Amino acid sequence: MNNFVYDIPVKVYFGENQLCHLGEELKKYGSRVLLTYGGGSIKKIGLYDKVINELNSSGLEVFELSGIEPNPRIDSVRKGAQMCKEHNIDVLLAVGGGSTIDATKFMAAGACVDHDPWDFLSEKWSPIEKALPIVSILTLSATGSEMDCGGVISNPETKDKIGRLAPPMLPKVSFLDPTLTYSVNAYQTACGAADMISHILEVYFNMEQDLYMLDCFMEGMLKTIIKYTPVAIQDPENYEARANLMWTSSWAINGFINGGKRLAWSCHPMEHELSAIYDITHGLGLAILTPRWLEYCLDETTVSKYVQFATNVFGVEASLPPMEIAREGIRRLSEFLFDTIGLQRTFTEVGIKEEDFPVMARKACGNGTLKGFKHLNQQDIEAIFRMCL
C-alpha cells in the first residue's frame, strides 16, 4: 500500500436554490468575472438569466465567453485566456458540463502565462504553477470536472486530444443543483453514466494492494449509477435520481478513491484517440470500449478482481467457478450499457472505421506501451478496437 496526500479543498453547494450564495463566493476573489458557457442550453433552461441577475445584484462586472464546444478546443481556451488578460479578470465562472469547466480551467491557467496555452498540453508540457480562481455551476453529471483539477482539450489541427491535471486548476467552489440536469436528454444521461462508470473502473481494476474501504465505496457508486440512470432516463425530473448521479459524478474522479494506488488509465487514453478523430461523445466511446477492454485483460492473474466486481456490484452468484463469475460480470455490465440505458454497442454503429485503428492505437500508446491494469502495446489496442466492431 502506497502513501498518498489527500487534499480536495473544493467547497460544494449541493441542492436547489443555492445560487443566492454565488455573489458572496465570487466576491472573495474580486469583482471582474469572466462568465463562460457552451452552446446556449443554459439560456433555454433559464439558468443564464438567474446567473446574470445574481452577478448584477452582487455588483460584479461581467464579461462573457460563449460557444465552448463539446470536446472543447484549444481555440476557445486561447480566446478565454486572452480575455482574462485584456479585461483584468479576477475570477472565472464556468456554467455548463465538463467541457465548459475543462476549457475554463486552461483559460484560468493561460491567463497567468505569456505563452500559448497549447504549450500546457503539447510536447512542451509547460508547467501550470498558477491559475486564476475558478467557480463552477454544473449542468451535466459526467466528467467530475467540478471537483477535480484536470481537463481535456482538443486540437483539431494536430488531431490531438490531451488531458492534464494541475492543482492550481481545482475549482474553489462548485454549485451542484440536480434540477439543472432535468433537461439532459436520455442519450446524454446515458453517456454521462458511462463516463462515471469508466472513471471508477479505471481505478478499481488494479491489482495493487489498496484500501478495501475505497473498493467498497467504488462498488457503492457503481450500484448507485446502475440504480439511478434508468430512473433518470425514464423520469428526467426525478430529484433523487439526478441528485445521486450528480454527487457520484464528483466523487468518481475527485481523487478520493485513488488512495495510494499508482494509477495508469487505459480506456480514457484509448477513447481520446477516437473522439479526437471522430468527435463522438466521450461517454459513448468509453461505453463501447470498456467491456471489451475488461474481456481482453481477463486471465488467471487478474480474475480475482473481476470476481469481486461481479459479486459485489451485480450480485453474481459467488459459488460459480471464478472465470464464469468474471465473464458474467462483464456480460451484466454490457447489458446495462447497451440494453438498459440504450447506448450503441459497436464502432460500426457509430461509424468508426477499421482503417483508422493503427494510427489511433499508435497514438494511444504513445508509440510504446500504454501502462494500465494490463500494459497494452499497439497490437493489443488494435485487438481491443477490433472487438468493438
Q: Which residues bind a copy of itself (CB under 8 A)?
A: 1-18, 209, 211-217, 219-221, 223-224, 227-228, 239-240, 243-244, 247-248, 251, 259-260
Q: 223, 106, 110, 127: which is closest to 169 by C-alpha?
A: 106
* Shortest separation between residue 18's beta carbon and a copy of itself, angstroms: 6
* Shortest separation between residue 220's beta carbon and a copy of itself, angstroms: 3
* Shortest separation between residue 10's beta carbon and a copy of itself, angstroms: 8
- Distance CA(41)–CA(105), nearest Å, equals 20
Closer residue to a copy of itself (CB): 21 or 374: 21
Could you tell me which residues come within 8 angstroms of residue 163 by beta carbon, excluding any fewer than 6 positions away? 150, 151, 152, 153, 268, 272
113: left (phi over 0), alpha (psi -120 to 50) or beta: beta
- Distance CA(118)–CA(373), nearest Å, equals 29
CA triple 151-153-154, angle to 5 deg: 160
* Shortest separation between residue 141's beta carbon and a copy of itself, angstroms: 12
* Shortest separation between residue 1's beta carbon and a copy of itself, angstroms: 6
Closer residue to a copy of itself (CB): 74 or 134: 134
Closer residue to a copy of itself (CB): 45 or 214: 214
- Distance CA(270)–CA(268), nearest Å, equals 5
CA triple 151-153-156, angle to 5 deg: 170
Closer residue to a copy of itself (CB): 67 or 315: 315
Determine which helix (DSSP H) or strand (DSSP E) holds 96, and give its type and residue range: strand 91-96
Closer residue to a copy of itself (CB): 7 or 355: 7
Beta strands in 141-285 (DSSP E): 150-155, 160-165, 173-176
Only one residue has cell 476549457, namely 103
* Shortest separation between residue 239's beta carbon and a copy of itself, angstroms: 6
Closer residue to a copy of itself (CB): 152 or 196: 196
Closer residue to a copy of itself (CB): 15 or 358: 15
* Shortest separation between residue 317's beta carbon and a copy of itself, angstroms: 14
Provide the grid cell at 63.
464579461
